[in-house]
């Protein structure tokens, strides 16, 4: 994320920071940076699909530290790719990197990979903690900068683009934000989080008093997420940069420093742009000028009024107006009630499916959930079936097509997928996307359950917050290829029951009833877990099967959200623990009695039996 090589350069020098004590202030937080940072800090195992419980605990502790220092956090998340889709080449590159990391992990190499449902678990945790957040319509950087400047407070992120924005109260990198080491303050001032703030002033002074207004041009010339350097290679091959010149030996930082020193001779951006263009062929100059100027605009804070959203719940931006989306969709996106996947499918007819640590010889784990995605596409695109849309299918009488980026063995491939034709009562004119909210709940619930292949009568004996996961599990059993093994199913259900047991044992609600036998069962379970989780066996085929379940759960969640939650949304915290489900699977193969893990609690034993009987039937 951000300007190529800049984070490394700034970190190596260390001289461009000032010490900061963060307390008694608003703080605008880049949500994407934060959940990546907390995910990597809280995870010990990236091979088994993620442990959302420890991740949610890290999120809770982080905001607990801020509260102790009287810091008011406002989290701003990236939305979809935006109608111009300018970052597509960068996103394809990142998806390919993710694929390489997943392949390495599947073979036992080290590495990190954000588990599939991390973003959803983060949004749920923010909601539970009452932390104000917004999901922008597209990339969040400019809106983060706009809000921080409006309030005169710092930005917390891990994105070197914020070194380039002109921020009134500066940019605090998450790498220097010591929220786990809160310091007791002197006297009445109270405790604070020790942090460091990037000083653009010190940075510019270091490069011959470089004019700060030239930093956006530096970012664009040096290469960022929007502009590839290929167009400017002619400039770099011909210009003589101070201090060691072009790329040559000495790597990225030599060129980066040379470029900053070269820019320091100019008073303002337009003069510098004219001098860049001198090195290019005449017929390309105007095109490159336009490209440079529009790319520099990415570093001007946005005029979207996020303060209005945080005060009145109203999110308005030009791009959303131009996209002409139903108002309820715009509102649901801003409140994080719909995922960016939905806006990408709706606006671009194109989606990315994130790879997991799966068996690369098999079809992608996402292929299991394809019928659910086709129903999502059918609901979203029915509204524009008769419009000229930017898709491979221009014939209006055909079903719309969506381009999916997914894994084919070890490479990223795009596939064109046809939207599902919806059941007749969903094809009536009274059922366009903008009227979806008005459709009777029973109809919306029926479409969800028909897609997952279950009936409501079947789910009635299941606790409401587990109905969606159980329906998804039934779908997984029917649609997975190769077929789900019984030990895999039992391991998954035992894991869900353990999450339930943890939830009722640790429920902070003082009015909640706690049975003694539940506490005993929970303590016995913790002892068992402590002993058994040391085992590091890894079964790639079982991992592939559990990845398929997560893919089905993700799309089940998205379809449920799009249909305005006809079933309760399950809490992901206790729903999936990859380390545990793999351990249970290994144990069940050798010690079937592990099925009796919760015998001390009649309630949990009964829940497990109900789930198993339902799903097996």
Average pLDDT over residues 559-572: 97
Residue 239: pLDDT band (50, 70, 90) is confident
CB 78 within 8 A of CB 139: yes
361 CB-contact burial (10 Å; exposed 0-12 / middle 13-18 / buried 19+): exposed
Q: What CA–CA distances, in Å, run from 483 to 51, 368, 479, 548? A: 24, 11, 8, 11
Rounded CA-CA distance 534/579 in Å is 10
CB neighbour burial string for 246-282, b if at least 16 within 10 angstroms, e if fewer: bbeeeeeebbbbbbbbbbbebeebeebbeebbeebee
The number of CA neighbours under 13 Å toward the Cβ of 129 is: 25
- For the beta carbon of residue 431, count every other beta carbon within 10 angstroms: 18
Is the separation of the CB atoms in 476 and 548 below 8 Å?
A: yes
**85 vs 383 pLDDT, higher one:** 85
* Cα–Cα distance, 333 to 330 (Å, whole number): 5
Average pLDDT estimate for 228-242? 79
118-154 confidence digits (pLDDT tens): 999 999 999 999 999 999 999 999 999 999 999 999 9
Helix, strand, coil percentages for the chain (3-state, nearest 5): 55, 10, 35
Split at pLDDT 50, 70, 90, the class of 236 is confident
pLDDT band of 386, cuts 50, 70, 90: very low
DSSP 399: P
Give the mean pLDDT of 221-240.
Answer: 78
- The per-residue pLDDT for 161 is 95
Q: What one-character-per-residue DSSP string does 262-325 give?
A: HHTT-SSHHHHHHHHHTTS-GGGHHHHHHHHHHHHGGGSPP---HHHHHHH-----HHHHHHT-
Region of residue 592 (phi > 0: left; psi between -120 and 50: alpha; otherwise: beta): alpha
Give the closest residue to 29 by CA, choosing from 186, 181, 183, 145: 145
Instruction: Retrieve residue 548's tokens.
Output: 């398929």
Beta strands 401-408 and 350-352 are parallel
SS3 206: helix
Q: Name the CA radius of gyration of the chain, rounded.
A: 26
**Is 0.85 topped by the overall pTM?**
yes
Give buried/exposed letters for 80-91 (b at 16+ CB in 10 A, else e): bbbbebbbeeee
pLDDT confidence of residue 427: 56
Helix (H, G, I), strand (E, B) or coil at 16: coil
Name the token pair of 129: 């903690």
Up-side HSE of residue 400: CA atoms within 13 Å toward CB?
29
Quick one: pLDDT at residue 385? 38
**Quick one: pLDDT band at residue 164, thresholds 50, 70, 90?**
very high
Backbone angles phi, psi at 386, to 5 degrees: -100, 15
Q: What is the pLDDT of residues 278-289, one digit of tens each?
A: 988 898 899 889
Alpha-carbon distance 512 to 78, whole Å? 37
Give the long-range contacts of residues 91-94, CB within 8 A, separation 24 or more. Answer: 91/352, 92/405, 92/412
H helix intervals, 568-601: 578-590
pLDDT above 90 for 536: no
Among 3.30.310.50, 2.30.42.10, 3.30.70.100, 3.40.50.1010, name the CATH number for the domain at 6-298.
3.40.50.1010
d(CA 365, CA 358): 7
> What is the rounded average pLDDT of the residues 467-492?
97
Q: Which residue has the tokens 């014939």?
A: 395
Mean pLDDT of the chain: 91
User: How do residues 324-381 score in pLDDT, each as one tens digit?
Assistant: 999 999 999 999 999 999 999 999 999 999 999 999 999 999 999 999 999 999 999 9
Confidence of residue 431 (pLDDT cuts 50, 70, 90): low
Q: Residue 196 forms beta bridges with which residues?
A: 19
Distance CA 272, CA 367 (A): 50
Q: What is the pLDDT of residues 37-79, one digit of tens each?
A: 999 998 778 999 999 999 999 999 999 999 999 999 999 999 9
How far apart are alpha carbons 342 and 535 in whole angstroms? 39
What is the domain partition of the chain in residue ranges? 6-298, 323-382+399-616
Is the Cβ–Cβ distance between 595 and 476 less than 8 Å?
A: no
Tokens 């093994």 appear where? 485
pLDDT of residue 430: 52
Percent of the chain at pLDDT > 70 equals 92
Q: Is the pLDDT of residue 250 over 60?
A: no
Pair of tokens at residue 479: 């649609």
Residue labelled with tokens 């449902």: 117
Residue-level length of the chain:
617
- In angstroms, the first-to-last Cα distance of the chain is 48
């Amino acid at each position: 994320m951000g300007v190529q090589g800049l984070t490394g350069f700034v970190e190596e020098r260390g001289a461009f920071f000032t010490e900061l004590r963060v307390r008694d202030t608003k703080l605008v937080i880049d949500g994407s940076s934060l959940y990546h940072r907390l995910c990597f800090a809280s995870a010990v195992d990236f091979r088994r699909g993620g442990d959302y419980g420890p991740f949610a605990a890290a999120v809770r502790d982080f905001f607990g530290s801020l509260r102790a220092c009287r810091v008011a956090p406002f989290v701003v998340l990236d939305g979809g790719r935006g109608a111009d889709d300018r970052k597509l080449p960068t996103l394809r590159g990142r998806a390919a990197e993710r694929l390489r990391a997943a392949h390495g992990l599947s073979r036992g190499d080290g590495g990190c990979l954000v588990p599939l449902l991390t973003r959803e678990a983060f949004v749920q945790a923010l909601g539970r903690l009452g932390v104000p957040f917004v999901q922008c319509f597209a990339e969040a950087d400019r809106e983060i900068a706009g809000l921080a400047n409006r309030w005169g407070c710092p930005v917390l992120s891990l994105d070197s683009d914020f070194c380039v924005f002109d921020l009134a109260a500066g940019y605090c990198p998450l790498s220097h934000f010591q929220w786990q080491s809160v310091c007791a303050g002197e006297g009445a001032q109270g405790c604070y989080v020790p942090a460091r703030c990037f000083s653009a002033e010190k940075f510019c002074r270091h490069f011959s008093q470089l004019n700060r207004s030239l930093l956006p041009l530096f970012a664009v010339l040096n290469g960022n997420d929007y502009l590839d350097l290929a167009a400017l290679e002619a400039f770099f091959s011909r210009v003589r940069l101070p201090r060691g010149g072009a790329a040559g030996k000495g790597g990225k930082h030599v060129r980066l420093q040379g470029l900053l020193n070269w820019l320091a001779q100019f008073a303002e951006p337009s003069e510098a742009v004219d001098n860049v263009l001198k090195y290019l062929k005449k017929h390309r100059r105007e095109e490159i000028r336009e490209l440079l100027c529009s790319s520099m605009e990415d570093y001007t804070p946005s005029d979207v009024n996020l303060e209005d959203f945080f005060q009145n719940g109203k999110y308005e931006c030009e791009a959303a107006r131009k996209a002409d989306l139903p108002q309820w969709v715009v509102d649901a996106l801003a409140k994080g009630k719909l995922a960016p996947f939905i806006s990408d499918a709706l606006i671009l007819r194109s989606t990315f499916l994130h790879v997991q640590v799966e068996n690369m010889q098999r079809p992608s784990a996402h292929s299991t959930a394809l019928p659910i995605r086709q129903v999502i596409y059918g609901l979203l695109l029915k509204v524009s079936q008769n419009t000229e849309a930017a898709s491979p299918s221009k014939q209006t009488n055909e079903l719309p097509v969506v381009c999916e980026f997914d894994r084919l063995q070890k490479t990223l491939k795009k596939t064109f997928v046809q939207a599902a034709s919806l059941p007749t009562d969903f094809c009536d004119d009274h059922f366009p996307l903008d009227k979806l909210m008005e459709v009777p709940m029973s109809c919306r619930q029926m479409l969800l359950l028909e897609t997952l292949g279950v009936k409501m009568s079947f789910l009635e004996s299941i606790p409401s917050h587990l109905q969606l996961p159980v329906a998804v599990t039934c779908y997984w059993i029917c649609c997975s290829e190769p077929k789900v093994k019984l030990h895999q199913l039992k391991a998954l259900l035992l894991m869900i029951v353990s999450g339930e047991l943890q939830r009722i044992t640790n429920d902070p609600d003082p009015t909640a009833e706690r049975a003694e036998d539940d506490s005993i069962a929970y303590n016995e379970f913790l002892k068992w877990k402590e002993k058994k989780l040391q085992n590091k066996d890894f079964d790639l085929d079982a991992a592939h099967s559990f990845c398929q379940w997560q893919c089905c759960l993700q799309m089940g969640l998205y379809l449920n959200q799009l249909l305005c939650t006809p079933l309760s949304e399950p809490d992901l915290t206790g729903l999936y623990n990859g380390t545990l489900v793999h351990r249970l699977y290994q144990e069940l193969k050798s010690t079937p009695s592990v099925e009796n893990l919760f015998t001390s609690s009649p309630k949990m034993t009964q829940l497990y039996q109900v789930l198993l009987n339902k799903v097996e039937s």
